[in-house]
Amino acid sequence: MTGWTRRLTLTALLLGIAFAMPAQAEEADDPWPGLVQDIFSNRPMNDGSAVIGIEMPYRAEDAAIVPVTLRSKLSPGDSRRIRSITLVIDRNPAPMAAKFELGPDANVTEISTRVRVNNYTDVHAVAELSDGQLYVSKVYVKASGGCSAPAGKNIEEARNRLGQMRYRQFAREEAPASRVREAQIMIGHPNNSGLQMDQVTQLYIPAFFINELKLSQDDSPVLSMEGGISISEDPNLRFTYVSNGAKRFRAEAKDTDGHVFRNEWDVEKPGT
């Protein structure tokens, strides 16, 4: 082997090591195994590619309001149903963004909301089915600084809108006789993460967010959410469900300061 060949071979080996080390370091630093232990008590995770879909932009336009849609992929003939969906943003300061419990008779098949993303990260959706098994899907999102981004509204404006709720319905493509509905709940709330700084005092604003939300048609549960700091300012949920013929849609929300907000609407005249 000539000296030139030896130098070339050595250079290739060094480059190979250099390229391999970051990948190994990133793999070693993967928070997901620890999150499976902390959030799910190390329960087995099954491939969820045919069970639960998660859609988010690969590169977020605004890290403080990143849209996310969770969608059931179970076939109509599948006898199982999704009991709950846990949304985990792996590299956020509080990774469990939300846990959604689905009403047993509501047949919720799609949930959309907006979240804060603090770092480039995997985002996992974990569905628990009626068979007691967990199924996981994931996407990768490029975003940073979402949890510390300043609030979009000033303190006085946020206070005046605190707890205000709106309920909207959307037309569906199904036949008019279909009982499938698509609706949206919006709640006025700053949902402070505890990582944002007051631009005047330069002090951190204490965490203050909606941590419970329950939705029902009359007294029949449709959807509930256990929320955390990763849910964006002015939380909103857009979702599908099957009507049971109820005339009233009800919402109850609680925040970390103990406030309770309630409202209800005529299903045929949702309004504000």
Residue with tokens 């929300």: 253
Provide CB contacts within 8 A for 213, sequence distance 6+.
Answer: 185, 187, 224, 225, 227, 235, 237, 251, 252, 253, 254
pLDDT score for 14: 42
Average pLDDT over residues 151-160: 81
Average pLDDT over residues 116-124: 98
Residue with tokens 């000296």: 3
Average pLDDT over residues 127-145: 97
pLDDT at 184 over 60: yes
Q: Are 83 and 128 in contact (CB under 8 A)?
A: yes
Burial pattern 51-67, b for ≥16 Cβ within 10 A else e, equals: bbbbebeeebebbbbbb
pLDDT score for 225: 98
pLDDT score for 80: 95
pLDDT at 179 over 70: yes
Classify the C-alpha dihedral 183-188-194-197 as positive or negative.
Answer: positive
SS (H, E, C) 155-175: HHHHHHCCCCEEEEEECCCCC
pLDDT band at 16 (very low <50, low <70, confident <90, very high): very low
Of 34-38, 90-94, 166-170, 268-272, give the lowest mean pLDDT range. Answer: 268-272
Residue with tokens 């909301």: 113
pLDDT score for 198: 85
Average pLDDT over residues 19-42: 75
Average pLDDT over residues 36-60: 97
Percent of the chain with pLDDT over 70: 86
pLDDT at 9 over 70: no
Kindly report, residue by residue over 72-118, the tens digit of the pLDDT: 999 989 999 999 999 999 999 999 999 999 999 999 999 999 999 99
Kindly report, residue by residue over 187-218, the tens digit of the pLDDT: 999 999 999 998 788 899 999 999 999 999 99
pLDDT band at 159 (very low <50, low <70, confident <90, very high): confident
Both structure tokens of 197: 């700084």
SS3 35: helix
